[in-house]
Amino acid sequence: MFLKDWTIKSFLKMTSSCSAKCFCTIALVLWGSFLGTAQASTVRIKDIVDYEGVRDNQLVGYGIVVGLNGTGDRLTNTLFTRETLIGMLNRLGVNIRDKAIQLQTHNVAAVMVTATLPPFSHGGSHIDVTVSAAGDAQNLSGGTLIATPLQAADGEVYAVAQGSLVTNAFSARGAMAEITRNVPTSGHISNGAIVEREVPVILGSSGIIRLALKNENYTTAVRIAQTINSHLGRGTARVDDPRTVAVNLAGRNVNEALYEIGDLTVVPDTMAKVIVDEAAGTIVISDNVRITTVAIAQGNLTVQVVNNADASQPNAFSNGQTAILPRTQMNVTTDKEHKIGLLQDEPSLSDLVTGLNALGVGPRDMISILQSIKADGALQAELEVR
């Protein structure tokens, strides 16, 4: 059978050695993943595609936060904060331009406000905003953002943000120590902006809707087109490229058709790929990874050098001097139980994990082995090292 009569009992027996225990956790995760993919799983089309023209829009604005407890910008250092405060007060009828040099408050801070405008957002709806310090403010906790226009890339104002910040941060300082949790100079306002301008989204104006795959793949695109054609009629969908499936909805209600298409299920195809993060020691292997016949030997020579210093004392009432005598101890260990592992022709993911796990290979050692297999040309997959 496909799993080659593996059992959990034999798998645990294989990982019982001390050298293999460090790799047991990762192997179990991969084992569970492999069992889950033994039977092809289906996903809904709406979970793996985006609809062309339906997109988010990034908004950004510059504003000021007030009500800080002495943790705001220093107006003598951040001139843009002082000018913003003076301009705001002038608009409110308070003219302090001639006495601005005397401003010494530390309770205000200049901030950048960012937000994402979702598609189909209507005027009057609310969106979340993120507020980040632009000057030398130390903490935005407890502050209130004053009405800030949020603009898109076209320079138009699409929303206005205002409200009390929540930073979820903690900061305390003493004479000789300081402690900080999370980032106190960045905060969040839930539903903190009101949408003022809508972004029109017109679907199916030409009678054709294009589905954009989140992970481009010809096989998955063809399967999506075949599934739609079998449900809505032959010729309804066609594959334009590995990322795009065009659907002809002429004569159909667009919203109802997209509802039906979104709930259809397909079996997505995955590329043979190995992703390695050397810094974190993380390895992700897709189920389609195959390698040709290869023998693997993991280095098992350990040399331990210990330096000690002994003191030699002279006899009592003698004219001798204390001498330091260096002592060096060297231990050489070879693990004779580790052998060369042979992976037969075109082993699967389970064979690869089994062979490397039997050698007691840890994740970081496995990275170098995979790179060597790729260099040898035996790894029939893309190797991405981050």
Residue 125 CA to residue 128 CA, distance in Å, equals 11
Local structure of residue 38 (DSSP, 8 states) = S
| Amino acid identity at 81 | T
Higher pLDDT, 155 or 320: 155
Among 12-21, 203-212, 365-374, name the one with the lowest average pLDDT. Answer: 12-21
Give the contacts of 217 (CB within 8 A, at least 6 positions apart).
242, 268, 269, 270, 271
**Beta strands, E only, 140-288:** 144-151, 157-164, 170-173, 178-181, 186-195, 208-213, 237-241, 244-248, 265-266, 273-277, 282-285
Model pTM score: 0.65
Q: Find out whether 299 and 291 touch, Cβ atoms under 8 Å.
A: no
- pLDDT given at position 133: 95
Where are the CATH 3.30.1360 domain residues in the chain? 43-53+202-266
The mean pLDDT value for 2-26 works out to 38
Instruction: Indicate the angle between helix axes 218-232 and 254-262, nearest 10 degrees.
Output: 120
Per-residue pLDDT of 140-196, as tens digits, reads: 998 999 999 999 999 999 999 999 999 987 767 776 677 777 888 999 999 999 999
Among 1-10, 141-150, 284-293, name the one with the lowest average pLDDT. Answer: 1-10
Give the contacts of 156 (CB within 8 A, at least 6 positions apart).
197
For 43-53+202-266, CATH number out of 1.10.287, 3.30.1360, 3.30.420, 1.10.3470 equals: 3.30.1360
Residue 264 CA to residue 229 CA, distance in Å, equals 11
Residue 292 CA to residue 381 CA, distance in Å, equals 11
